[in-house]
Amino acid sequence: MELYCEGRPPPLLGGARTCTGASRIGEGCFDMLKMGVCMSRGLDECMQQCQTTPNCEMVVYYTQEMKGSCTLCAELSSIREARLMTTEGPLIGTDEP
């Protein structure tokens, strides 16, 4: 796993995938019921949460159906397709499932 410099944002897990099981170490705002609870939260807030969470190395940021929700990942030993959700990819923009 490539490490990032302290104070810099962690990388984003590529689109339409999320970490599960032992790889998932937490969540930022997480709107499982898609009620719009997290829509006012941004990617910067999720990145900050990862930076302050021990062992967080990657972020999954949901950009459409659960907009503003995010998942914090320690590593990628356990991932799954997020077929019904779009996640932000490592470049500007989103990857379609």
Closest alpha carbon to 95 in 4, 9, 6, 18: 18
Confidence (pLDDT) at 83: 61
Residue 27 has pLDDT above 70, yes or no: yes
User: Which residues in 26-49 are b (16+ Cβ under 10 Å) and which e?
Assistant: bbbbbbeeeeebbeebbbebbbeb
pLDDT digits (tens, 9 = 90+) for 2-17: 444 555 566 666 667 7
Residue ranges per structural domain of the chain: 17-81
